[in-house]
Structure 1
């Protein structure tokens, strides 16, 4: 692992930038209040700042601004109601029911409002018993609201000063994930590579890339400065993001039989060199990603063309020694691998050129594509959507019921005097933090929360015992805050670890010498909340991942069919709508990633709920291959070359028929006789005759040692296209058989 590169990735990322902003917004006022000796009295000010800061999710400025305004209003309303009714326990249970259902149901409008709703419940939990507000309700509410407004003002100032910072960081993160993806692809060329495990790694990484691309699309295509303005920076960011999507398709292609390639060339020494070169390209992509996150220019770290030429020299020397009729097809396969590697290298060089050039005189890149169509759809804020989800058929409604029941149980337990719980609201906060709509996610977060809390509590306990210098403790507090807010999205256990440390130090500043009580309460409350969250998620209206299988399989099958037909239409006519093609590609990749994510979550469900796991796994794998082979075919569809030697019309009918049969089975529809007949067509290609002729030429010593890396024979291209079409049909047929059995035993 390159630790320097990993550190650079982290310190230039949007997460550390956002975490530092939130932490400074909290700490700076706290230091000022401490200087005047009134921090304890005005402790609710930085607390309000922290909660509003946690609702600030990445996205377009307008959506972030509106969500923060909603959070400020919502938090104020909740604190007023909770503070006024804190002395009436029966009404508190009514509050929990109303607020628990309402704020969790906000999730129907997307993740941004779900975060606002969840943190509104956290605020409610803190003020539920007056532990922090005391008897001065009005003063406490005003101080808390002022802290909320403070972060909103910080947000407005920072985003106006650096409007391109977030888009640049997110696009940079796209390139960093693509670099990781390329590193995984490079491992396919290692000797004794575990291909099945690597395919699983590839699929898991595709889920991560899909989520990131969706978030980045929303930011880039919904940010006015990028879409409408004609500044150098806006055009550059737009072009870099579009290039990253095209580059991902290039990496997605899977047109190689790796087992056959290893059998033929494992002892030739060239495959490890391909592996090393791809890793070098991954480092270059990492360099681009870090530069984008940092907002600086960069140049290639190595001579890519020279490194590639070394591989071609080895290839041509090997071909000159080993080429004969029986190895012809093996060398054609290796030549195509080198072609793909060359294309990836060329793309990296192109991306560097785009990144380094001056685009002042370029036209706006917002023309030509209807960017609105590429942005993830979100539910509009209307009451009909909200009310229509009040049904047990709605996953959000079931989740709302679980959250509400868990909060009721947690609050009731916190009032049991014999337990001696000093910070009862920690139970409620932990329940809200852990519970998610899916059981598998709740289970995973539960485990991470317990690990993070236990490790953080022990670490903080010893810190407070052995470190008596307030300046050192304050430095640790600030560092822990930054790390907590930076890691909250991707490294939950570590985020909880640092959160626990800064909570311990904060309470120690407010009430020195109480570390034993804090330690006991934190551990006990976390365990109680974890048990409640697990039990409620398991027994009350649970949502198991297998219930989503058929829906996601339908979407993936349909999206792959549309993607394939679009590519074949473009392949045949050499005319195509670029926007429609990009839309079909996006739908196929997103559907595949959602299906893969669903399967990964199934692994965390109880064994008795992991239904038809083998069939779902086979469907995920075949879907991945259909998408990848179609992406491989798209490279030829975008080529200006014509391929009349391939019976493309019949291949189109044959493969489409198999994909249509799969869609029909998933939708419980009958397949018409015409489709069944088309799936049995036998395309008449000329490739075999041409291949036979070429072998005869080699047998007769008509082999010419032409060492041109840019030259690839027409026969090599034709053979590869035919193999891709054959593989597509075989995979489509295999998928149809899998679905046939899945539907039969469902």
Structure 2
């Protein structure tokens, strides 16, 4: 229990919650001593409204985001109060349209990425809160100044905490990345079980890739921006080396695709071979998980598994197999085993690099130029107007969300005024907090918000019925605020419960009629949740079956770009260019986006899960395609390959043509299939490649046996991958044809 508490208080979510709690509570406590409670409370509001924009990055970008949020929060508060003060006579006809325009504009700036989304969220919260706490004309500038001060104070506290623990966020994200990569490897190991449910395992791998993509993006943001802005500290370089190695571990894992059923049959009389291989994979997975655990606990890592001995045992099993079979008849099987051994060697090497990073004082020889041009992997931070302009259409998810949010906020105002509710802004806050672009998440958060609020109100009423000491209530409110902010990111229902108790406690100190507070809190939350949920169903809905075609198209296009980079590398040889690694990264990200889109689709009503089997098939085909490409790319990088034949390039071009045809089908644009003449030439090229391979296999009289083995291995893998790529691309075209346009 003590260990769990330590881990909880050391988490990123707890530290962020502690930062905002400190920044909000400190001004209240200090100024309350001078009878300036309301002044301190206004500063606290500014701090809390700025907090959502505090997302990890380099210190420079983090500070910029917080300052932007502070300015937007202050400006929104100022505009709302001035509007209310100056338009009293024509209040409904001027005030509401301008407020709704502000809501729409702030929601639209989410098109510029995650940081912009959170800055937008801060502004929207400020608008909602300001409508319920309007100031008199004399107090407007003073109040807005205090809000500005609160935002600046939170920024200062956040920066100070960053200096106190500059690397802890990176360590925690790295630990999560290590753990997830270990889980991914373990799933790869499960594929070798005789009774394995391989379809289910592949599905789990797809979902793990979504999580890994998020972790990779977070680590790129903090590691690469810190590298470019703050130089190369040893700590940062070590983490960068580990991160690069983890990305390569994932690519290697994805690149090893085998026909497990066939191999199980072929090695049924030699089970030791596959058993040793599986043991090594499991131990590689366990090693990464143990490194993650030591990093989480800030303890020195001690290696438990003897990975080199496991690798040696597998190599020995391969050698014993070769000695007991007829090499001529089992040439292909032996070649597959050697490919597996080569993969095992490379994977063990990379995991050992990660182990050394946490057990020795590294000299960074393992970098060997692997960090070259890494800044090109970052998403550029610029905000051109044309991106906003391009999203001003119903085809944009953000535009639909902005319209939906604006209409729902308008309904919240109307309902609040018709029924003269006590705190209309609670309805608005609930809508802003709950509403998300997707139906599934909005539905989930609506339910969690209502349950959390109801639970919190019951608990708060029970506590206040027996507890009447203001100081004790204030201390409990601070603790609950801390827990509420922490759990909001972990478990929204529990977070909503703590936040509700905290809010009721605060109001109980300001208003003794706590029954009315609880009643209106419950009512307003229920109305807000119902509005958000209903709006996502009826107002400009963004059903995933419409959006997923875009993700399918982007995933295929990213795979085409990756294939072109692999082809260039195979033809030109030499050092792996940065463009290859960027294309690989994009292919992984787009596949993750496609999988995430499919997950969201499965959370929607059954009637909206249109053509689910075809979409799932296309998602799996894209995963298989990327796996095959990664296999081809990994082999090309790690082996000295022969000159690319014309047949190789003809087949690659045919695959690209098929994939481009699939993209056109998804876009519903005119496209032409490969002509019968081209298909005949393609068959001839496959025949040519197979003849080359047969010739290589027959030339067993070569004096240089190692050279023969290398050529045979290359011939087998390249031809198999080309045949496989062509089959996959044809299946993608067939599936794309079956995907009808639905509305």
TM-score, normalised with respect to structure 1: 0.84
Bigger relative contact order (CA 8 A; separation at least 6):
1
Counterpart pick for 2:241 among 235, 239, 242: 239
Q: Which moved more, 1:231-240 or 1:244-253?
A: 231-240
C-alpha distance in structure 2 between counterparts of 1:661 and 1:255, whole Å: 22
C-alpha distance in structure 2 between counterparts of 1:337 and 1:636, whole Å: 12
Shift of 1:473: 5.7
1:723 aligns with 2:726: no
C-alpha distance in structure 2 between counterparts of 1:314 and 1:461, whole Å: 69
Q: Which runs of 5+ in 2 are unaligned?
A: 665-669, 701-708
C-alpha distance in structure 2 between counterparts of 1:527 and 1:692, whole Å: 76
Q: Determine the structure 2 residue equivalent to 1:546.
A: 545
Shift of 1:308: 4.3
Q: Contact 2:546–2:742 at 8 Å: present in 1 too?
A: no
Q: Determine the structure 1 residue equivalent to 2:414.
A: 412
Q: Contact 2:245–2:354 at 8 Å: present in 1 too?
A: yes
C-alpha distance in structure 2 between counterparts of 1:185 and 1:293, whole Å: 25
Q: Determine the structure 2 residue equivalent to 1:582.
A: 581
1:735 aligns with 2:738: no
Deviation per CA, 1:415-440: give whole Å up to 9, x if none.
3447xx44322211110112123334
C-alpha distance in structure 2 between counterparts of 1:366 and 1:133, whole Å: 63
The secondary structure found in structure 2 opposite 1:436 is coil
Q: Which runs of 5+ in 1 are unaligned?
A: 695-711
1:143 aligns with 2:146: yes
Q: Determine the structure 1 residue equivalent to 2:12.
A: 14
Shift of 1:398: 2.5
Deviation per CA, 1:41-93: give whole Å up to 9, x if none.
63233222122112211223222212211222222222233334447451442
Counterpart pick for 1:78 among 76, 79, 86: 76
Q: Determine the structure 2 residue equivalent to 1:184.
A: 187
Shift of 1:100: 1.2
Q: Determine the structure 1 residue equivalent to 2:450.
A: 450
Shift of 1:467: 6.2
Shift of 1:404: 1.0
C-alpha distance in structure 2 between counterparts of 1:348 and 1:557, whole Å: 30
Q: Contact 2:460–2:501 at 8 Å: present in 1 too?
A: yes
Q: Contact 2:658–2:674 at 8 Å: present in 1 too?
A: no
Summarize the Cα distance change of 1:344–1:143 in structure 2 as closer, same or farther, 3 Å threshold: same
The secondary structure found in structure 1 opposite 2:522 is helix
Q: Contact 1:56–1:67 at 8 Å: present in 2 too?
A: yes
Count of residue pairs brought into register by the alignment: 722
Summarize the Cα distance change of 1:323–1:446 in structure 2 as closer, same or farther, 3 Å threshold: farther
Summarize the Cα distance change of 1:263–1:23 in structure 2 as closer, same or farther, 3 Å threshold: farther
C-alpha distance in structure 1 between counterparts of 2:443 and 2:370, whole Å: 46
C-alpha distance in structure 2 between counterparts of 1:523 and 1:641, whole Å: 69
Q: Which moved more, 1:459-468 or 1:561-570?
A: 459-468
Q: Determine the structure 2 residue equivalent to 1:286.
A: 289
Q: Determine the structure 2 residue equivalent to 1:156.
A: 159
Deviation per CA, 1:417-472: give whole Å up to 9, x if none.
47xx4432221111011212333443343334334434444454445456667777
Q: Determine the structure 2 residue equivalent to 1:709.
A: none
Q: Determine the structure 2 residue equivalent to 1:375.
A: 378
Summarize the Cα distance change of 1:259–1:501 in structure 2 as closer, same or farther, 3 Å threshold: farther
TM-score, normalised with respect to structure 2: 0.85
Shift of 1:675: 4.8
Q: How does 1:593-612 map to 2 (within 5 A)?
A: 593-612=592-611
Q: Contact 1:550–1:666 at 8 Å: present in 2 too?
A: no
Deviation per CA, 1:156-180: give whole Å up to 9, x if none.
3233455444444444433333223
The secondary structure found in structure 1 opposite 2:617 is helix
Summarize the Cα distance change of 1:22–1:133 in structure 2 as closer, same or farther, 3 Å threshold: farther
Shift of 1:572: 4.7
Q: Contact 2:480–2:501 at 8 Å: present in 1 too?
A: yes
Q: How does 1:198-237 map to 2 (within 5 A)?
A: 198-223=201-226, 225-226=227-228, 229-237=231-239
Deviation per CA, 1:647-691: give whole Å up to 9, x if none.
864244224313322312422322464654454332225555777
Q: Determine the structure 1 residue equivalent to 2:492.
A: 492
Q: Contact 1:568–1:637 at 8 Å: present in 2 too?
A: no
C-alpha distance in structure 2 between counterparts of 1:34 and 1:305, whole Å: 64
Shift of 1:601: 1.9
Deviation per CA, 1:553-589: give whole Å up to 9, x if none.
3322222122123224433543244212102211211
Cα root mean square deviation, aligned: 4.0
Q: Contact 1:82–1:127 at 8 Å: present in 2 too?
A: yes
